Amino acid sequence: MSEMLTVDGKPVDWNKPPKQTDLALWPRTTSGGKQVKGSARTIAHLCAIDAAARKKFGTGIVVIQAPFNTTVPASAGTHDHDACADMHIPGVNWRTQEKWLRANGYACWYRFPPLFGHHIHGFTLPPQSGVVRTDDFRDLGVTVGKYVDGGSTLFGVQTTSSQITDYYHHAFGLKNQHGEGTDEAWHPPVIGATIFDYAAFARSKAKPVWKPKDVKSNLAIVQQQFQIAAGLRKGKRIRTNGVGWIQNALNVKAGTNLVVNGIVDSATLAAWKKFEIKTGGTGAKSTPDPRSLKKLQIAFRFVGPEAHLPVG
Ligand SMILES: [Zn+2]
Both 230 and 90 in one domain: the answer is no
In 3D, which of 29, 17, 14 has the Cα closest to residue 62? Answer: 29
Instruction: Look at residue 310 in the predicted model and tell me its pLDDT.
Output: 44
From ligand 1's centre to the CA of 57, what distance in Å?
23
pTM of the full structure: 0.74
Q: How many CB atoms lie within 10 A of CB 196?
A: 21
For 240-269, the pLDDT digits (tens) are: 989 999 999 998 888 898 999 999 999 999
> Is residue 40 helix, strand or coil?
helix
From ligand 1's centre to the CA of 79, what distance in Å?
6
Pairing of strands 84-88, 119-124: antiparallel
Mean pLDDT, to the nearest integer, of 150-166? 96
From ligand 1's centre to the CA of 71, what distance in Å?
11
Both 46 and 119 in one domain: the answer is yes
From ligand 1's centre to the CA of 108, what distance in Å?
9
Residues within 5 A (CB) of ion ligand 1: 75, 86, 121
From ligand 1's centre to the CA of 85, what distance in Å?
6
- Structural domain including 139 reads 5-203
Q: Residue 77 has what DSSP assignment?
A: T
- Examine the pLDDT at 151 and tell me if it is beyond 70: yes
From ligand 1's centre to the CA of 129, what distance in Å?
24
Both 11 and 150 in one domain: the answer is yes
For 75-112, the pLDDT digits (tens) are: 999 999 999 999 999 999 999 999 999 999 999 999 99
- Examine the pLDDT at 190 and tell me if it is beyond 50: yes
Domain boundary (150, 169, 203) is at 203
- Examine the pLDDT at 203 and tell me if it is beyond 90: no
From ligand 1's centre to the CA of 45, what distance in Å?
16
How many structural domains comprise the chain? 2
Both 216 and 235 in one domain: the answer is yes
Roughly what angle, to the nearest 10 degrees, separates helices 198-205 and 40-57?
A: 70
Residues 102 and 268: their CA atoms lie apart, in Å, by: 31
Mean pLDDT, to the nearest integer, of 157-185? 97
Put the strands of the sheet holding 35-39 in their side by side order.
Answer: 5-6, 23-29, 35-39
Mean pLDDT, to the nearest integer, of 114-142? 96
Both 163 and 232 in one domain: the answer is no
Please report, as a single letter, which amino acid is at residue 230.
Answer: A
Instruction: Look at residue 287 in the predicted model and tell me its pLDDT.
Output: 85
Both 157 and 189 in one domain: the answer is yes
Position 278 confidence tier, pLDDT thresholds 50, 70, 90 = confident
